Amino acid sequence: MASKVLVLNGPNLNLLGTREPDVYGNETLADIEVKSLERGDFLGLQVEFRQSNTEGQLVDWVQQAQENFDFLIVNAGAYTHTSVALLDAIKSCNIPVIEVHLSNIHQREEFRQHSYISKVALGTICGFGGYGYELALEAAAKILNK
């Protein structure tokens, strides 16, 4: 049976395509979802994509993830830099996590250079736009097939 990967997206990522295109590019989140599902198919992964602007909703999804999924990919948006709640939820979640960002957060404002998610993620992919999600799926497939 195909391994199942949950991809969680945090606040304002629903605005991709029109939001600061100089920073985040022109692809919409729906475009990234289509490519992620295609890449998942190719890799033998069943991918589910979700987005919420609400911290509590993201925490609920992380808490429930291990019931139905084998792997978690998270772009927590601005909650990356603020959310101890998401950090704690991921700590209690017994499946591996990869952190993704479209932009290279290390080249940006100082407050974006700290990530609570990085403390618990296996690794972070940032700076490759929407393609970063496909790279994260490649890594997930490799780790799950080991």
The footprint of ligand DQA (CB under 6 A) covers 12, 75, 77-78, 80, 101-103, 105, 112
3-class DSSP string for the chain: CCEEEEEEECCCHHHCCCCCHHHHCCCCHHHHHHHHHHHHHHHCEEEEEEECCCHHHHHHHHHHHHHHCCEEEEECHHHHHCCHHHHHHHHCCCCCEEEEECCCHHHCCHHHHCCCHHHCCCEEEECCCCHHHHHHHHHHHHHHHC
To the nearest whole angstrom, how small is the minimum distance from the Cβ of residue 103 to ligand DQA? Answer: 3
To the query of whether residue 133 is one of the catalytic residues in this protein, the response is no
To the query of whether residue 24 is one of the catalytic residues in this protein, the response is yes
Could you say which of 79, 101, 116, 133 is catalytic? 101
C-beta of 51 vs 80, nearer to ligand DQA:
80
C-beta of 132 vs 144, nearer to ligand DQA:
132
To the nearest whole angstrom, how small is the minimum distance from the Cβ of residue 42 to ligand DQA? Answer: 23
Strand partners, 72: 6, 97
C-beta of 36 vs 80, nearer to ligand DQA:
80
Could you say which of 24, 79, 116, 133 is catalytic? 24
To the nearest whole angstrom, how small is the minimum distance from the Cβ of residue 7 to ligand DQA? Answer: 12
Could you list the active site residues? 24, 101
